[in-house]
């Protein structure tokens, strides 16, 4: 059996193009997909990941509802925010960037 070379960059580009096409079709029907990205605190790696997500959303033509909360945000306040976003019909997905500060229980979130 011979080895198969997999071009990960090309596969990723194809996936992104497919997502952009599906997003375009949804927009033609009046729906702009929206992802809410919640970042609590200023972990440098998390900030970088969220920036990458925002760039990918823009390239796909999706709406970005990013919320950057201070590191001392309470678990209760974070859960209230998530509940509010969950009730917003213009938001189609919610992503909470991990890790969360130690005082917030990731299992509850």
Please state, in angstroms and rounded to a whole number, the distance separating the CA atoms of residues 68 and 15: 28
Q: State whether the Cα torsion 3-17-91-35 is positive or negative.
A: positive
Q: What residues make up the domain containing 41?
A: 8-96
Please state, in angstroms and rounded to a whole number, the distance separating the CA atoms of residues 84 and 28: 27
From 27, 46, 54, 66, the catalytic residue: 46
Look at residue 80 and tell me if it is in a domain.
yes
Look at residue 84 and tell me if it is in a domain.
yes
Residue 5 carries which DSSP code? -
Work out the number of other CB atoms within 10 angstroms of the CB of residue 39: 22
Look at residue 103 and tell me if it is in a domain.
no
CATH code of 42's domain: 3.40.50.10860
pLDDT value at 31 more than 90: yes
pLDDT of res. 98: 98
From 10, 90, 97, 108, the catalytic residue: 97
Look at residue 19 and tell me if it is in a domain.
yes
Q: Would residue 54 show up in a list of annotated catalytic residues for this protein?
A: no
Q: Would residue 2 show up in a list of annotated catalytic residues for this protein?
A: no
Look at residue 89 and tell me if it is in a domain.
yes
Look at residue 108 and tell me if it is in a domain.
no
From 27, 53, 54, 66, the catalytic residue: 53
Chain segment 79-98, per-residue pLDDT in tens? 999 999 999 999 999 999 99
Domain count, the chain: 1
pLDDT of res. 46: 98
Look at residue 3 and tell me if it is in a domain.
no
CA neighbor of 82 nearest in space, from 55, 43, 108:
108
pLDDT value at 1 more than 80: no
pLDDT value at 25 more than 90: yes
Chain segment 43-73, per-residue pLDDT in tens? 999 999 999 999 999 999 999 999 999 999 9
Chain segment 7-24, per-residue pLDDT in tens? 999 999 999 999 999 999
Please state, in angstroms and rounded to a whole number, the distance separating the CA atoms of residues 109 and 96: 8
pLDDT value at 6 more than 80: yes
Q: Would residue 46 show up in a list of annotated catalytic residues for this protein?
A: yes
């Amino acid at each position: 059996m011979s080895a198969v070379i997999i071009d990960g960059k090309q596969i990723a580009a194809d996936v992104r193009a497919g997502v952009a096409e599906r997003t375009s079709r949804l927009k033609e029907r009046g729906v702009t997909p929206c992802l809410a990205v919640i970042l609590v605190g200023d972990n440098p790696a998390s900030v970088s990941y969220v920036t990458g997500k925002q760039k990918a959303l823009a390239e796909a033509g999706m709406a970005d509802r990013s919320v950057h909360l201070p590191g001392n945000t309470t678990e209760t306040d974070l859960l209230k925010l998530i509940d509010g976003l969950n009730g917003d019909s213009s938001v189609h997905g919610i992503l909470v960037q991990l890790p969360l500060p130690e005082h917030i229980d990731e299992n509850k979130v």
